[in-house]
């Protein structure tokens, strides 16, 4: 859990620095596979920061909800890649999006499995 907390916090640092100091990164945010640009991107960027800060906090303090929430976010990212691949001019179409979605679903499956194993361990004690 500590490694995942560090990963989430490092992601926050990269996102904040990129959103504040890199013009190309600041100009676009992706939500549900759709690109937001301009003021919408600037206003929604902190939501990504909050998501990863919540993940860092949840993993660091081993909150009971974190594995389910992280799995849900992983599946959301997978679905977003599928949508983005189809609707964005930079996308490569739904076949590539489907491959990306399948690959990005693997962490979600692993997190759900860890949740199940953790619950089973709690029942034994």
Q: Which of 34-43, 70-79, 116-125 has the lowest mean pLDDT?
A: 116-125
- Contact indicator for 52, 9 with CB cutoff of 8 Å: yes
Question: What mean pLDDT is predicted for residues 13-26?
Answer: 90
pTM of the model: 0.90
Spans of all domains in the chain: 1-61, 64-125
Tens digit of pLDDT for each residue in 62-105? 999 999 999 999 999 999 999 999 999 999 999 999 999 999 99
- Please compute, for residue 18, the number of CA atoms within 13 A of its CA located in the half-sphere on the CB side: 16
Of the candidates 25, 43, 111, the residue with the CA atom closest to the CA atom of residue 76: 111
């Amino acid at each position: 859990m500590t490694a995942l907390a560090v990963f989430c916090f490092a992601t926050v640092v990269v996102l904040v620095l990129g959103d504040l100091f890199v013009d190309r990164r600041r100009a676009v945010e992706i939500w549900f596979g759709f690109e937001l640009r301009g003021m919408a991107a600037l206003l929604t960027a902190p939501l990504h920061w909050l998501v990863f800060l919540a993940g860092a906090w949840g993993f660091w303090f081993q909150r009971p909800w974190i594995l389910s929430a992280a799995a849900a976010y992983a599946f959301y990212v997978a679905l977003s890649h599928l949508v983005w691949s189809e609707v964005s001019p930079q996308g490569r179409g739904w076949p590539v999006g489907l491959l990306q979605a399948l690959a990005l679903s693997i962490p979600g499956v692993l997190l759900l499995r860890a949740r199940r194993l953790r619950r089973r361990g709690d029942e034994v004690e």
